[in-house]
Amino acid sequence: MGDTPNEATIIGSDIHIKGELTFQKSVRLVGTFEGSIKGEGELQIAKGAACKAEVDSSSVIVEGIVEGNLVAHDAVHLNKSGVVKGDIVAGRMVMAEGASFYGKCAVGPEAVKSAAKPAANPPRSQATPSGGRSSEAAAGK
């Protein structure tokens, strides 16, 4: 069986995975996944699928539910049944009428470059003198 451009690994509706998923071509999630996902190709979250994960992929199509931060180096397509509860960083973003998004969003080539760099700020859960925000955030940086 040869590789075709539309070939995708399918995680079926009766499958629940916890852990780390890495892929190079494309994956279509129809079931549920918890953990982290890193891919070089396209990740498709089908309608009815649930993904509780930190996602880093070339492109992401969301028709189901994603709970976690999402980085798409090329593009994010949030279709009308799609729900994202987490921050999005993407080179491009398309959001259909009816889609739901709860979080922060940074779009464009500079946003993707910044996401690739390690974070210099302390995690949000650390207490700081500025009422829970980092000193840079308190200074408006």
Q: Tens of pLDDT along 62-77?
A: 999 999 999 999 999 9
pTM of the predicted structure, to 2 decimals:
0.77
Greatest pairwise CA separation for the chain in angstroms:
60
What's the pLDDT score for residue 115?
80
Parallel, antiparallel, or unpaired for β 65-67 and 42-45? unpaired
Q: Which residue, 69, 66, 59, is CA-closest to 45?
A: 66
Which segments in the chain show pLDDT lower than 50?
Answer: 1-4, 120-141
What is the rounded distance in angstroms from the CA atom of residue 12 to the CA atom of residue 122? 38
What's the pLDDT score for residue 113?
87
Domain ranges of the chain: 9-107
126 φ/ψ angles, rounded to the nearest 5 degrees: -80, 140
